[in-house]
Amino acid sequence: MLKRVLTLVLVFTFAFSVLFVSVKNATISAPSSFAVTSLKLTVSEESSASAEATPTAVPKSDYFLAYPGILPDNPLYKIKMIRDRVKIWLVRKTLDRASLFLLYSDKRLGAGKVLVEGGKPEMGIPTLVKAERYFEKAILETEKAKAQGIETAEFRETLRKASLKHEEVLKEVKERVDSSGKEAVDDLLKYMSPVKAKLNGI
């Protein structure tokens, strides 16, 4: 028990040390596997108007996303990121980790959408990428849980509903950005295709 407490103290000490450096140099870094790192993205008014005139057919889901809370354009967002990582470290049960990853995925999806709608697609798109990476982690943890003999049917159904909502939101976002933004969202949708296939195969 004492060893656990000492470990936690060290983790939080390290976390807050990183925090002060991070807040001082607060930036949002885009994942390197997507073209968004080198794009100058802008919200396309023309695309928005076109979307209103001829809306793209997207699958509708009754799944509700968690409230995103503090957004990546807030300097305090670094604190939230550190808190999230500490929670991941503390949670050990596979299905609980899957649920936590899904929560983080949903929050980042909502945050990315808000940023794009607020005229900050250069921050919104990378946030959407992080959302889908967390979604993939949720599926991988669910796969582990099932292999351990844990009942996952109910949570897998939740993941399937969430996947429809994620696709719906991504396609909505695609209609609100310029051509380079559309390309980035298309890349993300392609990235999610095998992820969804893995979910269906669990």
pLDDT band of 38, cuts 50, 70, 90: very low
Question: What single-letter amino acid sits at 75?
Answer: P
Question: Which pairs with CB-CB distance under 8 Å and at least 24 residues apart come from 143-146?
Answer: 143/198, 143/202, 144/94, 145/94, 145/95, 145/98, 146/202
pLDDT band of 22, cuts 50, 70, 90: very low
Distance CA 183, CA 171 (A): 12
pLDDT of 151 reads 97
Average pLDDT value for residue range 170-181 = 95
pLDDT surpassing 70 at residue 131? yes
What's the whole-model pTM score?
0.74
Distance CA 72, CA 112 (A): 9
The tokens of 149 are what? 């003999």
* Residue 91: closest CA among 137, 23, 29: 137
Average pLDDT value for residue range 37-41 = 43
pLDDT of 176 reads 95
Average pLDDT value for residue range 72-77 = 96
